[in-house]
Amino acid sequence: MTPMGTIKATIHVPARTGRGFAVDRGDLVRITDLQGAQPVDFWAFNRDNVTEYLSCEHTKPSIERLYPRRGDAAYTNHRRPIVRMLEDNSPGQHDMQFAACDRYRYLELGAKLPHASCTDNLHLALDGLDIRVGFTPQPWNLFTNFFLNPDGSFTVKAPETKPGDNIILRAEMDAYIIVSACPQDMNATCGGVPTDIQVEVGRPA
Ligand SMILES: [Zn+2]
């Protein structure tokens, strides 16, 4: 297990909400699913130029997989690593196929508005960092149980993560990171009940 040395910050993220924070190159970010079966929408932006951001569609050709696993980086739209997965203490399901949930998705599923969404959580967190990004990049959907079937269809099941499952990422550049504890309660994505997550930011031991 990658040793987390000095912990610089511990960030509790209540169910259905998001948080944003800055990291320095080399920082470790541990993201923990506290109660299990909770997906985390994850975004990262270059701190010096937020038009460079983690891009799922640019990551996939670089790693030649549908999503990163331990040792792989996630890449920006400038095809540079922005975070790398050093440890994966989870079933290893980290989808890169889906847009973030948004108010329109909840309307489509028959919810009554207002309904919290990862898209709104992203922009609220960016506002809190005094950053304006006029679009919503596709998030990296951590702990999301996407399964591609041989006929090209896919299935999203409840996550298989157990309480305390976690991943450790290393920042490969100075970045802003946003996480959202997905509020999806209209299908199996969050196992039915959205729950809290925790983020720790530290330096290597
Ligand atoms: Zn969501």
Q: What is the pLDDT of residues 8-36, one digit of tens each?
A: 999 999 999 999 999 999 999 999 999 99
As a whole number of angstroms, the longest Cα–Cα distance in the chain is 48
Q: Residue 3 pLDDT more than 80?
A: no
Distance (Å) from CA 71 to ligand 1 centroid: 26
Q: What is the mean pLDDT of residues 115-130?
A: 98
The predicted pLDDT at position 189 comes to: 85
Q: What is the mean pLDDT of residues 79-100?
A: 97
Instruction: Please list the residues that pair with 83 across neighbouring strands.
Output: 74, 171
Q: Report percent pLDDT > 90 for the chain.
A: 91
Distance (Å) from CA 205 to ligand 1 centroid: 33
Distance (Å) from CA 5 to ligand 1 centroid: 31
Distance (Å) from CA 204 to ligand 1 centroid: 30
Whether the Cβ atoms of residue 48 and residue 131 lie closer than 8 Å to each other = no
Whether the Cβ atoms of residue 183 and residue 194 lie closer than 8 Å to each other = yes
Phi, psi of 194 (to 5 degrees): -65, 140
Phi, psi of 12 (to 5 degrees): -90, 130
Q: Is 149 helix (H, G, I), strand (E, B) or coil?
A: coil
Distance (Å) from CA 182 to ligand 1 centroid: 4
Q: Residue 120 pLDDT more than 80?
A: yes
Least confident of 84-98, 121-135, 187-201: 187-201
DSSP state string for 50-111:
TTSBB-HHHHHHHHTSSS--TTPEEEBTTS-EEEEEEEEES---BB-S-PPP-HHHHHHTTP
Q: What is the CA radius of gyration of the chain?
A: 16
Distance (Å) from CA 184 to ligand 1 centroid: 5
Instruction: Name the band, by pLDDT with cuts 50, 70 and 90, for residue 203.
Output: very high
The mean pLDDT value of the chain amounts to 96
CA-to-CA dists, residue 148 to 67, 91, 164, 184, angstroms: 12, 16, 26, 20
Distance (Å) from CA 48 to ligand 1 centroid: 27
Q: What is the mean pLDDT of residues 34-49?
A: 97
